[in-house]
Structure formats: structure tokens, C-alpha cells
Structure 1
Amino acid sequence: NDSNSNKNSRLCLACDMDAMFSAVFTVGRTPYSPAKFLYSWWQHAANLASYEQQDAHEFFISMLDGIHEKVEKDKRKPQSQGNGDCCIAHRVFSGILRSDVMCTACGFTSTTYDPCVDISLDLEPNQGASGRTASSKSHHSCNGEADSLSSSQNCGISTLMGCLDRFTRPERLGSDQKFFCQQCQVRQESLKQMSIRKLPLVSCFHIKRFEHSPIRKMSRKVDRYLQFPFSLDMAPYLSSSILRSRFGNRSFSFDGDEPDASNKLSSEFELFAVITHTGKLDAGHYVTYLRLSNQWYKCDDAWITQVNENIVRAAQGYMMFYVQKMLYYKASKRPVPS
């Protein structure tokens, strides 16, 4: 047991990832095998340690958790995901979600905050995008995407902005989900609304393409096309914007929160990576499209090829990564290794 403990203490997922990226950006064409990184990850996530196919989203969350756990152990600090500055994983990906639950009887609102490293989004129903998306499509889009967005609504195609609209839309909780209202002193029906209190440096959106029905005892993959912009303004989904739309320009404060306080980071993001999945629910293939210096690359196992941006737009997105626009422009100035 002591030998296993010493062996595990030498494992470093962050170190192995650093070595992997160093090899990728080193000039040369020698193949690189991420075997050491895979072994370190298996030691962290024993439930996923097999040669069976695994979900990319589960891998992403598990990987960030492994990096965070190792760094926190090294620093000998209590684990805390809320501040977002405890390790490189959370400095990059950590944001804060705000949840407001309002009593429909008296209007009392209970507010909670939760850290997140990604946002999982439901696809829109087939009838198309929401009204806010339609009215603000030109605000979100670039490179002629406004026209294509209009036609996509007529075809019932889901859009990323429509999914975000749905995520931040007020939802009436069922009678079996009544919450205890501190003002009424009884359980009441309520409205719940999500918003983004703090944006991360890199926003990761996970599209729920795998549906499970406990009633029918069936699972299926949703292959509906999702249209996503290359430039994205997250301002409409911030807590400050949501609260202003709910209460007007009046200044409100819940639990010490200042909804009108401006976010320290810009709300404008640029798309730089898309993960796609082809195949069925229990078997398939992942391909990643990566954007470097305004050039898109298709990463398909050991083959990396340049592709046109229209190929990326037509891809069936499963996970999308957006980086702060200013950081993207700074990174684009760096030369890409040949």
C-alpha cells in the first residue's frame, strides 16, 4: 500500500499535460504518444480507466478536477472551487452561476451562487429559436451570420443563442418542487431563473445530445443541427442584464450582490475550438476543430489538416469553447509552428 501511495504521489496530471502540449508545439513531425497522461488520468478517474469509449464531456470535467485536486494537495490548501483563482484549471474555466427562486405568492426571492467550469445546454424545441434571439441576431453574429440565422429559424434549426435564452429563461417549478418561502413561512410554488454572475476566461458550452427517458427506459442521441456563431456576446445572459430586464433600471441587491456592477471581464468571446461527435449513443467518433491565427484545423486522431471555416460551421457541435476576445487576438499574434 505504501508503494502504491508513493507511486500515486508522483503522478501529476498537470505536468503530463504540460509535457504533451510542449511536444505538440515543438517543431518536428515525430509522433507523440500521450500514454503517460492517459495513465495519470486513469489513476485519478478509476471508474473511467478502460479501453472502452468514454464521453468527451466527462473526460473534460474529470481532467479539470484532477488538475485542481493535485494543485490543491501540493499547496496544502482546502479545496475551494468558488474563488476561481486557486489553480490554473479554475483560473481559466471557472465562472459563477446565479440562481433566483421567486415565490409566486409574495415575490420573495432566494438567491444562490454556484461555481461552474462549463454550462450544459438543452437543445431548443423544433419550432425554432426564441424571440430574443431573433431580435438580437445581428448583435450576436458576424461574417454574414445574421442572414443565415433568420433562415435557420424558419427551418427549426437550434442556435447556441437560443439555447442560452432557454437556459436563462424563467422556469415555473412544479407543485412537487415547492420551496419554503421565508416570508410566507410555508411551501409555495415558485419561478426559477438562472443567469451568469461571473464569466470565465474560457467559456465551455456542452450540448446535451444524449437523452435518457426513465419512463420509456430508453436512451437516444439527438442529431439536430446547432448553429453557433464565431463571435459571441454574453452580455444578455449576465445577471446584471437579467435583473435589469426584470426590474428595469432600478438598482436591486440580493444577498449582498450588486446586479448593476460591471463584470471585470469583457462579455465578448471568440470561438476557438469545437468538438463534434458522429455515431450512435454507445459508439462513435470524436473530431476536434481548432482555430489558430484565424486558420481552422481538423484534428482527427493522428491526422491534422487545414479546413475551410464553412466545414466548421456545418459541424455537429457537441462541445464549444469560446475565449475572451482580447485574449484571442493576443494569441493570434503568435506564430503557428509549421
Structure 2
Amino acid sequence: MQQDAHEFLNFLINHINEIILAERNQSTLKVQKNTSGENVQCNGTLPQQNTEPTWVHEIFQGTLTSETRCLNCETVSSKDEHFFDLQVDVGQNTSITHCLKCFSDTETLCNDNKFKCDNCSSYQEAQKRMRVKKLPLILALHLKRFKYMEQYNRHIKVSHRVVFPLELRLFNTSDDAVNPDRLYDLVAVVVHCGSGPNRGHYISIVKSHGFWLLFDDDMVDKIDASAIEDFYGLTSDIQKSSETGYILFYQSRDASC
């Protein structure tokens, strides 16, 4: 069975981060050892583990803020959460900018999905939206191209045409976002080739030294930037094998990495 590229990306980022933290903590333990070779302890506890951010966080991690407004008392509450990639739904004949706009559309919480308002001390109807509070240096966008369809009793590939530009600016940022006008350049695309999630092949397109390179296993070809349009997707809803952008990597122009 084919392994999912998005799952592998998450595994790889988390695994690299775990290795960095383990090496950092090991170095800390060596420094804290006393002359007898035993770990220095305070009040009978082991030295605290080092959980400071790594370069993985500095490069890939962004922050989302979930804003919920109670429709009864108008109180707005917010909650932050970190991300290494944004997962967006795809529609037919659209763009990644529109997909990101839909990602931050206001959702009404009502009926069985009401919001528990602390100010009202009860469940109330509310409006909720997600916005980007901290923009990462490398923005990874996962296009959700595999969708479960009840009529087929399985996941199918959504090959809708989604335009992703060479330049991107996010417009779904929070009011207190740092550097909200940050401009991104497309630097890599993971492409899924095939008709479904359990079959097919992955290739990648990477920008290196001003040139675009297509990697297909051990084959590497130089391509023109205009060829990227071939991987936007299909304009029809006919289910067939396709080569479509699956994970997009955008690098901030002010990134030093």
C-alpha cells in the first residue's frame, strides 16, 4: 500500500525535532554531572528536560488563533494552537488563496454544537473563525485531495483544479499578527500521480538556484516555471488518474534559512 506523503511529512518533522531535543538533553545531562559521575538532582528530582524551541519550530511552526464570539453576551474568547502545516479543503476551479479564505470563514455554532460561554455560564450560539497569528518562515499547505465518499464506501481522490501562484500573501491573519504582510515564494510542490489514495506515485518539484527541477525517483529533469500549471488539477469532475499538487511549500522572502 502506498504511504501518504502528508503523513510522512508530519512523521519526519516530529522525528527530527525529537532527535534534536534528545541530543540537547543529553548534552545538558553531561554538563550537570558532578565529579562522582552522578546526575546532580534538586529535591530528589531529575534535571528538567530541555524543551526550548528548535530550528524546526523556528522554520516551520506557525500559530493559529481560534476566535469565538458569543452571540448572547458578545464576549470574544480566543485560543492559540501551533501548526507545522495548514490543511485546506479544495473546490473545483478555484485557487489556493480562495481555499485559505474558506479555511478562515466564520462558522456558526448552534443546535447540538453550541458554545459553552464562561461569561454566560451556559451553552450559547456563537460564531467561530480561525486566523493565522504567527506566520512561519516556511509555509506548508496540505491540499485535502482524499475524501471519504459514502456512496463508494471508500476514499477517493479529489482532482479539482486548484491554482497555486508563484507568489502568495496570506489575508486571513489576525489583528495582532506579526508581519501580516509577509510575502511568500513557492519553492517546492509534492505531486500525487494516480487515481486514489492507495495507488499511484509521488513526484516533487523543487526550485534550486533559480531553476525548477522535477524529481521522479532517481530521475531529475529541469523544467520551465510555466510547466507547474500542469499540476493544478482537472477542470472536470470525471474520476481518472491525474497529477495534482498535494503539498505546497512557500518560503518567506525575509527568511534567512
1:267 aligns with 2:182: yes
| Secondary structure, aligned partner of 1:239 | strand
Structure number with the higher strand fraction is 2
Taking the aligned partners of 1:53 and 1:216, their CA distance within structure 2 comes to 20
Taking the aligned partners of 2:88 and 2:16, their CA distance within structure 1 comes to 25
Which residue of 2 is the match for residue 58 of structure 1? 7
> How many residue pairs align between the two structures?
222
Q: Given residue 138 of structure 2, which amino acid in structure 1 is its aligned partner? A: V
Q: Is the 8 A contact 2:4 2:197 kept in 1?
A: no
Alpha-carbon distance, 1:102 to partner: 1.4
| Secondary structure, aligned partner of 1:223 | coil
Task: Map 1:1-338; keep pairs closer than 5 Å.
Answer: 52-76=1-25, 78=49, 86-124=53-91, 126=92, 157-213=93-149, 217-234=153-170, 236-240=171-175, 259=176, 263-264=178-179, 267-279=182-194, 280-315=196-231, 316-327=244-255
Q: Is the 8 A contact 1:299 1:305 kept in 2?
A: yes
- The superposition leaves residues 250-302 of structure 1 with CA deviations (integer Å, 9 ceiling, x where unpaired) of xxxxxxxxx2xx61586101000011101122111111011112211100110
Taking the aligned partners of 1:174 and 1:219, their CA distance within structure 2 comes to 29
Taking the aligned partners of 2:67 and 2:151, their CA distance within structure 1 comes to 30
Question: Which segments of 5 or more consecutive residues in structure 1 lack a partner in the other structure?
Answer: 1-51, 127-156, 241-258, 332-338
Structure number with the bigger relative contact order (C-alpha 8 A, sep ≥ 6) is 2
User: Could you say if the C-alpha distance between residues 318 and 94 of structure 1 is closer, same or farther in structure 2, counting changes exceeding 3 Å?
Assistant: same
Taking the aligned partners of 2:90 and 2:133, their CA distance within structure 1 comes to 22
Taking the aligned partners of 2:123 and 2:150, their CA distance within structure 1 comes to 27
Q: Is the 8 A contact 1:69 1:79 kept in 2?
A: no
TM-score w.r.t. the length of structure 2 is 0.80
Q: Given residue 217 of structure 2, which amino acid in structure 1 is its aligned partner? A: D
Q: Is the 8 A contact 2:60 2:138 kept in 1?
A: yes
TM-score w.r.t. the length of structure 1 is 0.62
| Secondary structure, aligned partner of 2:178 | coil
Q: Given residue 318 of structure 1, which amino acid in structure 2 is its aligned partner? A: Y
RMSD: 2.0
Q: Once the two structures are aligned, what percentage of the paired residues are identical? A: 28
Q: Given residue 115 of structure 1, which amino acid in structure 2 is its aligned partner? A: H
- The superposition leaves residues 282-325 of structure 1 with CA deviations (integer Å, 9 ceiling, x where unpaired) of 11111101111221110011000001112112212100000011
